Amino acid sequence: MNIFYSGYQYDYGDKKRGYSYEYYNFYKSLIFMDKKKHNVFNYRTDLFNKIGKEGFNNKAINIIDKSNFDLAFFVLFKDEFKDETLDYIKNKKDIVSVAWMSDDHWRFDSYGVKKAPFFNWIVTTDRNSYYRYKELGFKNVILSQWGFNHFIYKPNTKTSKLLYEVSFVGQPHSNRKFYINKLKKLGLNIYCRGFGWKNGKISFNEMINVFRNSKININFTSSSFGFNIKSFIKIFFFKTKYSIKIYSISDIIQNIRILFKKNTKQIKGRIFEIIGCKGFLISEEVNDLNKFYNLKNEVVTFSDYLDLKSKIYFYLNNKEARERIINNAYKKTIKYHTYENRFRNIFKKVI
């Protein structure tokens, strides 16, 4: 199968931030699975910043017209692709277009439902959005979920002493910093990495080593929600190339809705990544996680700070219980929750 893939190669399109989640998990999974059967062309969304919107769209059409692609797979971020370009690809008889909608849980109204008409198929990770698409008449919608790339996220093959008692990888927004700081005051040694923490950003290889060398990995399921002066200003104003302008009343109302929706909980890819590295996970509760794991024997969850504190102390002192849960979760994850498995299920439906 010949695949036209488009997603950011670098995090938010910024090379200084390193390779993106999409690059490691989506693109790398596609090129490693069935190497002899799949040919994947990587049309990097980063090109948008170099050649502009018109050039970026014209080049995409030119590549697709000259090649014999079976599938066009898009990991969408903003409006880099014009609706006319997407509609053109959708209506070509020899290719099927698929969009992975990453953030439907908070931008269904502002983005997902507006882009959906321009693809042959939509993939969403949000169950509520899946039913909303259906209610609005979109028939070709697939409910999937985040996963992990088992070709590069691997367990530790060497038996050695674990380096960290408790760790967290991610940014210190929403309730994260509050919980972590309270736990540290109890004397718990918690290693934190990511933008905003003292130890700063973490490289991909370092992250994997943290996952598999921690007695406990914490995962939070709330999305970014920083109600500060900067986020407040962004509700009302936006930048153009030459000036700052004010949004319309309807846009301001929509921006307020989006800001608060960002704080809703969602299943994170981090869950599958940690387990895929055979790390022990304690995750904040989130709807639908029980559809992927047994919450007693495969994944440990917490409801609030006191629950998290209690479970950290319990599992730090119960190595046998940790290892039993790790093994149960890993078996389930490697069998069902890799991106190779996700993509195979998607391809069966769309091709």
CA 32, CA 197: separation in Å to the nearest integer? 34
272: in domain? yes
Decide if 218 is inside a domain. yes
- Residue 329: CB partners within 8 Å, gap ≥ 6? 275, 281, 293, 298, 299
One domain, residues 27 and 126: yes
Is 294 a domain residue? yes
Token digits for 280? 């022990």
Predicted confidence (pLDDT) at residue 260 exceeds the cutoff of 80: no
CB 46 within 8 A of CB 8: yes
- For residue 228, is pLDDT > 80? no
Instruction: Verify that 312 and 248 share a domain, yes or no.
Output: no
Q: Which of 244, 261, 278 is the last residue of a domain?
A: 261
Burial of 235: CB neighbours in 10 Å, binned 0-12, 13-18, 19+: middle
Structural domain contains residue 135: yes
52 and 129 together in one domain: yes
Would 30 be classed as within a structural domain? yes
Answer yes or no: do 63 and 207 share one domain. no
- My answer on whether 267 and 236 are in the same domain is no
Question: Do both 112 and 129 map to the same domain?
Answer: yes
CA-based nearest residue to 255, from 247, 245, 266, 263: 247
Give the pLDDT band (50/70/90) at residue 264. confident
Name the DSSP letter for residue 248: P
Cα-based angle 291, 115, 107 (whole degrees, multiple of 5): 55
Task: Kindly state the tokens that stand for 297.
Answer: 């024997």
Q: What pLDDT score does 262 carry?
A: 55
Backbone angles phi, psi at 331, to 5 degrees: -60, -45
Handedness of CA 317, 323, 324, 328 (dihedral sign): positive
Question: Same structural domain for residues 119 and 104?
Answer: yes
CATH code: domain of residue 43: 3.40.50
The token pair that represents 236 in the structure block: 């009302």
Instruction: Residue 327: give its domain's CATH number.
Output: 3.40.50.2000
Distance CA 180, CA 185 (A): 9
Kindly state the average pLDDT of the residues 239-255: 68
Is residue 50 in some structural domain?
yes
Q: Model confidence at 255, in pLDDT bands (50, 70, 90)?
A: low
What six digits make up the tokens of 192? 């934190």
Are 107 and 76 spatial neighbours (Cβ–Cβ below 8 Å)? Answer: no
Q: Looking at the structure, tell me whether residues 51 and 113 fall in a common domain.
A: yes
Integer distance in angstroms from the first to the last C-alpha of the chain? 10
Q: Parallel, antiparallel, or unpaired for β 300-302 and 281-284? A: parallel
Closest CA to 322 of 300, 347, 307: 300
Q: What is the pTM of this model?
A: 0.88
Q: What share of the chain is helix, strand, coil (3-state, %, to 5)?
A: 45, 20, 35
Instruction: Looking at the structure, tell me whether residues 216 and 284 fall in a common domain.
Output: yes
Domain that holds residue 96: 2-144
Q: Which residue has the higher pLDDT, 122 or 237?
A: 122
Please name the helix (run of DSSP H) or strand (run of DSSP E) that holds residue 347, with its range, or none.
helix 339-350
The share of the chain scoring above pLDDT 90, in percent, equals 75
Say what the pLDDT of residue 250 is.
Answer: 67
Rounded-to-integer distance, Cα 245 and Cα 261, Å: 24
**Residue 11 sits in the same domain as residue 59:** yes
**Same structural domain, 176 and 323:** yes
d(CA 232, CA 333): 40
Are 262 and 225 in contact by the 8 Å Cβ rule? The answer is yes
Hey, what are 175's tokens? 């309730």
- Do residues 103 and 244 share a domain? no
Whether 159 is covered by a domain: the verdict is no
Confidence of residue 13 (pLDDT cuts 50, 70, 90): confident
Angle between helices 229-236 and 249-261 (to 10 degrees): 140
Question: Which of 97, 116, 144 is at the close of a domain?
Answer: 144
The mean pLDDT of 80-97, rounded to a whole number, is 97
Tell whether 349 is covered by a domain.
no
Residues 19, 96: Cα–Cα separation, whole Å: 27
Q: How many structural domains compose the chain?
A: 3
What percentage of the chain reaches a pLDDT higher than 70? 90
Sign of dihedral through CA atoms 78, 83, 84, 87? positive
106 residue type, one letter: W
Q: Are 155 and 330 in contact (CB under 8 A)?
A: yes
Average pLDDT over residues 226-252: 66
In this predicted model, what pLDDT tens digit does every residue of 22-54 receive, in sequence order? 999 999 999 999 876 779 999 999 999 899 999
